[in-house]
C-alpha cells in the first residue's frame, strides 16, 4: 500500500532532518549552491537517453518530443550565471525620518525553508526539475512526490535526485493520493503544485492549515484569437504543432480558437490541411512511434467523453476523431460549430481536441474570454498592432504570446505562472528564485 511506502521511509524523520539542514543551507554561499546545480546538470545530461526511454514507456512519448532536459539545462546555466548577483542584498532608500543617508535599508532574499513539490505527469522531468533548480538556488530543502501516473519517469527522477543530493537536502517519495494527503499534513514552509485547478484548491486549503505559502501552476481554457489581419497559414501551422505536441497534454497550449465569422471557414480549411499534412489524412495511427498517447485510461475516457458529447450535440467533425480504447489513443481532432454550452468549452481539454468558435466582432471575442475564468495563456495572431493591444489590454491572463503559442514558457527572462483559477505565483529564472525566497527587510540605524 502507498501509505506503507510512506511509513517505510519514515517521512517525519526526513522532514525533521530537512528542517535542520535548511538552517545550514540558509547560510550557504552562491558558489556552494552553484556547485550543487552543476552536479545535477551533469547527472541529467548523462541520463538523457534513459529519460527518453522512461517517457516512452510511460505513455509512448516519441523521441522527437522528449527533449524536456534541454530547458532544464538552460535553466541551470541561466541561474548559475546570475545567482551571485541575486543573492546580494538590495540597498534601497531610507526615509529622512528614519535617518536618511545615515541609516541603511536593505532587502535580503532568504530561503523559505522546507518545500513540498507535487509534480505532474505530462512533462514529468521538466516540470519537476525546472522549478527545483530555482528552489535549490534559493537555498531551500525539498521533498518531491512525482506523479504516480508516470511510474517509469518517477522512478528515474528518484534515482537522479538520490545520486546528487542527500535526503536531508532533496528527497523523492513515490506514491499516489494517499501519500500526497499525508505529506500535506506536514508543516511545510512552501508548497509547489502543478496540475488541475480542482486539486490546486485542495492543496491551498492544506497549506492554509500551516499558513504555508504556495505556488500553484494550474491550467484552464487558453484561447488563440485569430484576427482577420493574421497570416492564416502561419497561424495554423503554429497552433497545430503546439496543440497536438504531447497528444495535447500541455497546460499552456491552445484550448480553443476564436476566429471571425467572415473568415472562419477559410481558417478551418488551413487548420484541416495542416493537421492532415503533419499527421496524415487518417491521423498518425496506433502503430505510429511519433505520436504520444493519453497518459492513462481515466484521462482517455474523460477526453473521449468530451468528444462524444460535442458530436452528439451538433459539433462538426472536420478531421480526426479516431480512437482506440486499448491504446488510450485519440487522433488529432478538429471540431467546428462548437457552442459555449458544451462540456468541451467548459472544461480544460488537456488532450488532442481543437474546437473552433466564431465571433462577430473583436469586442465579442474579448467579452467571451472575460466571461470565463482567467486563462493561463492567451495567444493573439494578428498583424494589426492596434488589435493586438486592444486584446491584451482588455483581458487578463497568466501570459501571452503574439503570433505564436506557448513560447513565453521557454524564456528564462520572463515570469511564468497563472492568475486566479489558472494559478498563483511566478517561476523561471529570477522570478522562480524570488518565489522560493522570503523578502526580508533590514533597517540599520
Query: Half-sphere exposure (CA, 13 Å, Cβ side) for 164?
Result: 28
Strands 104-111, 399-402: parallel, antiparallel or unpaired by DSSP? Answer: unpaired
Taking a C-beta distance cutoff of 8 angstroms, is the pair 113, 143 a contact?
no
Asked about 217 being catalytic, the answer comes back as: yes
The position carrying cell 467548459 is 346
- Give me the tens of pLDDT residue by residue for the chain, a chain 445 residues long: 344 444 555 889 999 999 999 999 999 999 999 999 999 999 999 999 999 999 999 999 999 998 899 999 999 999 999 999 999 999 999 999 999 999 999 999 999 999 999 999 999 999 999 999 999 999 999 999 999 999 999 999 999 999 999 999 999 999 999 999 999 999 999 999 999 999 999 999 999 999 999 999 999 999 999 999 999 999 999 999 999 999 999 999 999 999 999 999 999 999 999 999 999 999 999 999 999 999 999 999 999 999 999 999 999 999 999 999 999 999 999 999 999 999 999 999 999 999 999 999 999 999 999 999 999 999 999 999 999 999 999 999 999 999 999 999 999 999 999 999 999 999 999 999 999 999 999 999 9
H/E element, 383: none
Q: Which CATH superfamily is domain 223-410 in?
A: Aldehyde Dehydrogenase; Chain A, domain 2 (3.40.309.10)
CA separation for the pair 158, 252 (Å, rounded): 26
Q: How far apart are CA 351 and CA 295, in angstroms?
A: 10
Among 115, 135, 247, 251, the active-site one is 251
Note the pTM of the prediction, 2 decimals: 0.94
* Catalytic (active site) residue 20: no
Nearest to 55 by CA among 195, 152, 157, 173: 152
Strand ranges for 160-264 from DSSP E: 170-172, 190-194, 213-217, 223-226, 256-260
| Owner of C-alpha cell 513560447 | 407
What's CA 300's distance to the chain center, in Å? 20
* 206's grid cell: 492544506
Would you tell me the crossing angle of helices 48-59 and 68-87 to the nearest 10 degrees? 120
Choice among 169, 182, 217, 348 that is catalytic: 217
What are the residue ranges spanned by the domains of the chain?
Answer: 2-218+418-444, 223-410
Domain 2-218+418-444: homologous superfamily in CATH? Aldehyde Dehydrogenase; Chain A, domain 1 (3.40.605.10)
Amino acid at each position: 500500500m502507498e501509505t506503507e511506502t510512506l511509513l517505510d521511509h519514515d517521512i517525519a524523520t526526513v522532514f525533521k532532518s530537512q528542517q535542520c539542514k535548511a538552517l545550514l543551507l540558509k547560510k550557504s554561499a552562491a558558489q556552494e549552491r552553484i556547485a550543487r546545480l552543476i552536479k545535477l546538470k551533469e547527472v541529467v545530461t548523462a541520463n538523457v537517453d534513459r529519460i527518453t526511454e522512461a517517457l516512452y514507456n510511460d505513455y509512448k512519448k516519441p523521441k522527437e518530443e522528449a527533449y524536456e532536459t534541454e530547458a532544464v539545462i538552460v535553466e541551470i546555466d541561466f541561474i548559475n550565471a546570475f545567482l551571485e548577483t541575486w543573492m546580494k542584498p538590495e540597498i534601497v532608500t531610507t526615509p529622512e525620518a528614519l535617518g536618511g543617508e545615515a541609516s541603511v535599508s536593505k532587502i535580503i532574499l532568504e530561503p523559505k525553508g522546507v518545500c513540498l513539490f507535487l509534480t505532474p505527469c505530462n512533462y514529468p522531468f521538466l516540470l519537476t526539475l525546472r522549478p527545483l533548480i530555482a528552489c535549490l538556488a534559493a537555498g531551500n530543502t525539498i521533498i518531491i512526490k512525482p506523479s504516480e501516473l508516470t511510474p517509469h519517469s518517477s522512478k528515474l527522477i528518484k534515482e537522479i535526485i538520490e545520486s546528487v543530493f542527500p535526503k536531508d537536502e532533496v528527497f523523492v517519495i513515490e506514491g499516489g493520493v494517499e501519500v500526497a494527503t499525508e505529506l500535506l499534513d506536514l508543516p511545510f514552509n512552501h508548497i509547489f503544485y502543478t496540475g488541475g485547478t480542482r486539486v490546486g484548491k485542495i492543496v491551498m486549503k492544506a497549506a492554509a492549515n500551516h499558513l504555508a505559502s504556495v505556488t500553484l501552476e494550474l491550467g484552464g481554457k487558453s484561447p488563440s484569437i485569430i484576427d482577420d489581419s493574421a497570416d492564416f497559414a502561419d497561424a495554423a501551422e503554429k497552433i497545430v504543432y503546439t496543440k497536438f505536441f504531447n497528444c495535447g497534454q500541455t497546460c499552456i497550449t491552445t484550448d480553443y480558437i476564436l476566429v471571425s465569422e467572415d473568415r472562419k471557414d477559410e481558417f478551418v480549411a488551413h487548420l484541416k490541411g495542416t493537421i492532415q499534412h503533419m499527421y496524415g489524412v487518417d491521423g498518425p495511427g496506433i502503430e505510429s512511434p511519433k505520436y504520444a498517447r493519453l497518459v492513462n485510461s481515466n484521462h482517455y475516457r474523460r477526453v473521449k467523453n468530451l468528444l462524444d458529447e460535442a458530436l452528439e450535440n451538433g459539433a462538426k467533425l472536420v478531421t480526426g476523431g479516431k480512437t482506440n480504447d486499448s491504446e488510450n489513443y485519440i487522433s488529432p481532432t478538429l471540431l467546428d460549430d462548437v457552442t459555449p454550452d458544451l462540456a468541451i468549452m467548459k472544461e480544460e481539454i488537456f488532450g488532442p481536441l481543437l474546437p473552433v468558435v466564431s465571433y462577430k466582432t473583436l469586442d465579442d471575442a474579448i467579452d467571451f474570454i472575460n466571461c470565463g475564468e482567467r486563462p493561463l495563456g492567451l495567444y493573439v495572431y494578428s498583424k494589426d498592432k492596434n488589435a493586438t493591444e486592444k486584446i491584451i489590454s482588455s483581458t487578463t491572463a497568466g501570459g501571452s504570446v503574439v503570433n505564436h503559442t506557448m513560447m513565453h514558457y521557454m524564456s528564462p527572462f520572463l515570469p511564468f505562472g497563472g492568475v486566479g483559477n489558472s494559478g498563483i505565483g511566478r517561476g523561471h529564472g529570477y522570478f522562480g528564485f524570488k518565489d522560493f525566497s522570503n523578502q526580508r527587510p533590514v533597517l540599520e540605524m
